[in-house]
Amino acid sequence: MTKFEVTTLNEFILKSQMELDYKADGGFSHMLHHVGTAARIVNREVNKAGLVDILGEAGNTNVQGEDQKKLDIIANEYFIDAMHSCGEICAIASEENESFVFFDDEIAKNAKYVFMMDPLDGSSNIDVNVSIGTIFSIYKRITPEGSKATMEDFLQRGTEQVAAGYILYGSSTMLVYTTGNGVNGFTLDPSIGEFCLSHQLIKTPEDGTIYSINEGNYKKFPKGVKKYIKFCQERDSKSHRPYSSRYIGSLVSDFHRNLLKGGIFIYPEFENAPTGKLRLLYECNPIAFLAEQAGGMATNGEQRIMELKPSSLHQRTPFYTGSKNMVEKVENYLKKYGKDS
C-alpha cells in the first residue's frame, strides 16, 4: 500500500512557529489552532443547516442594518467562545456586534492580541446552499498587557496585521491564511476531522480572465469602473478578452476563485453606498493581506488598502483586489475617467 505524506494544520503551525519572534512562545500557534477548531464547528453547523432549524432569518438586524441569519449568530458565538478560551485574545470585533467585545478575566487582560472577524460572509446565500465563509484578522494590541483593551487596539492600519485568513464552506471546506510569509491553504478531511495542507505557498497569476462585480448596479458605478467593464467585455484575442464575468455575491468565494485562477474583484462606491459597502477592518484588510502575500494587489481605487488609517470600527471602503496587472488597470481607468457615475 502506498503511504501518503499528510501535513495537518496543527503540524504546519508548529513547524512554522519559529519563523517570527512573536510566535516563538507557542501562544500564536495556540491561537491559530483555535481558529481551526472554531472553523470545524461552524462547518458542522453549515453542513446540517438544511436538516435543523438554523436556516432563515433570526428576526434581528446587525449594526450594519442587515438582516441577521440564524447561522450568522451561531458562527459569531462559536468564534467568540473559541478565541476567548484560547487565552491569547484580549478582545474581539465582529461585524455582528456594534462595539468590540472585551474579556474581563485576568488571563485575557494579559493577552497580546485582538481578533477581528466577519463570522459568516455571504450569509444571504445560506438559504440557497451557495458557498459562504468566515474572514478573520489578528493584530498585536497597542494598550499595555494587563489593562482592558480599547478602541485604539482595533483602529490600526492593515499593515500592522500579524495574521489574516478565511474559511470557505463550499463543496469542500478550506482554511486559507497568512502570517506574512506567504499564503497556505488547508482542506478539511472529514474522515479524520483535520485540516490538511493542500495548497502550499499560493501565488495568484499577475493577469487573469475573470472580473467579479455586481453588474446590476452598473448605471450607478463610477465612470472609470464603467469604462473598465467595457474594456473587459471587448474582444481582443491577444489579451484573451472578452473576460468572463463571475460573481457569487460572497467575498470569500469570489476572492478564492480569483486567487487561484487569476482575476479581479470589484466593489466600488455608488449612489446607495457612497463610501463603498465592504468593511475595512474585518473584510478588506485581511483579504488585502492575503492578496499581497500571494503576489496580488488591493486598493480603494487610489490608495493601498492596508495603508488606510481606520477612523471607526465598521468603516466602509471601495475595494479592488486580485491579479496585480488587472488592479493597476482599473486604477488607471479611475484616474483617467474619474469617480463620477
Q: Are strands 132-140 and 210-212 parallel, antiparallel or unpaired?
A: unpaired
Query: How many Cα neighbours within 13 Å face the side chain of 36?
Result: 24
Is 214 annotated among the ligand-binding residues? yes
Is 228 annotated among the ligand-binding residues? no
Is 217 annotated among the ligand-binding residues? no
Task: Using the structure block, give the residue that is written with the C-alpha cell 466600488.
Answer: 268
The C-alpha atoms of residue 100 and residue 115 are separated, in whole angstroms, by: 10
Is 104 annotated among the ligand-binding residues? no
- 299: Cβ contacts below 8 Å, ≥ 6 apart: 305, 320, 321, 327, 331
Is 237 annotated among the ligand-binding residues? no
Is 254 annotated among the ligand-binding residues? no
Is 244 annotated among the ligand-binding residues? no
Is 171 annotated among the ligand-binding residues? no
Is 272 annotated among the ligand-binding residues? no
Is 123 annotated among the ligand-binding residues? yes
Is 208 annotated among the ligand-binding residues? no
Residue in 115, 143, 123 with CA at minimum distance from that of residue 73: 123
Distance set, CA 185 to CA 34, 59, 200, 315 (Å): 16, 35, 6, 28
How many CB atoms are located within 10 Å of the residue 58 CB? 15
One-letter amino acid for residue 326 of the chain: M
Residue in 247, 233, 269, 277 with CA at minimum distance from that of residue 341: 269
Binding-site annotation: residue ranges for substrate: 121-124, 214, 247, 277
Binding-site annotation: residue ranges for Mg(2+): 95, 118, 120-121, 283
Binding-site annotation: residue ranges: 95, 118, 120-124, 214, 247, 277, 283
